Copies of this chain bind each other. A is one copy, B any other.
Amino acid sequence: MQNRKFDLLSLGEILLRLSPPDNERIVRGNLLEKQIGGAEANVAAGVSLMGLKTGVISKLPDNGLGLFAGNELRFLGVDDEYLVYDTEKDSRLGIYFYEKGAAPRKSGVIYDRRNSSIAGICLEDFDENMYKSTACFHTSGITMALGKQCRETAIEMMKRFKENGTLISFDVNFRLNLWSGEEAKKCIESILPYVDIFFCSEDTARLTFGKEGTVYDIMKAFAREYPISAIASTQRTVHSPKMHSFTSVIYDAKEDRFYEEKAYKNIEVVDRIGSGDAYVAGVLYGLLCPNGNCEKALKYGNACSAVKNTIPGDLPSLNRKEIEGIIADHETVGYHSEMNR
Contact = CB atoms under 8 A, between A and B. Distances in A.
A164 interface: no
B71 A28 contact: yes
Contacts of A34: 18, 29-32
A86 B337 CA distance: 25
A329 B240 CA distance: 13
Contacts of A92: 112, 114
Interface of A: 18, 22-35, 63-65, 67-68, 71-72, 74-77, 89-90, 92-93, 95, 97, 99, 101-112, 114-115, 175, 177, 238-242, 264, 266-270, 272, 303, 306-307, 309-312, 317, 319, 322, 325-326, 329-330, 336-341
Contacts of A325: 106
A115 B112 CA distance: 10
A97 B31 contact: no
B30 A29 contact: yes
Given A27-B64, A270-B23, A307 B108 contact: no
B64 A104 contact: no
Given A72-B75, A268-B241, A317 B104 contact: no
Closest 3 CB pairs of A and B: A26-B64, A109-B341, A102-B310
A102 B270 contact: yes
A237 to B, nearest CB: 10
Contacts of A317: 25, 27-28
B30 A30 contact: yes
A101 B95 CA distance: 25
Contact of A26 (B68, B109, B239, B242): B68
Given A65-B97, A74-B74, A74-B77, A104 B32 contact: no
A315 to B, nearest CB: 9
A175 B341 CA distance: 9
B337 A106 contact: yes
A161 B76 CA distance: 30
Contacts of A270: 22-23, 102
B107 A306 contact: no
A28 B266 contact: no
A77 B75 CA distance: 9
Contacts of A272: 338
B74 A312 contact: no
A127 B341 CA distance: 33
B339 A107 contact: yes
Nearest to A79: B74
A25 B307 contact: no
Given A105-B307, A106-B337, A106-B340, 20 more contacts: A18-B18, A18-B34, A22-B22, A25-B311, A28-B71, A32-B33, A32-B34, A64-B110, A65-B110, A71-B76, A72-B75, A93-B112, A102-B270, A102-B309, A103-B268, A104-B264, A106-B325, A106-B338, A109-B340, A114-B115
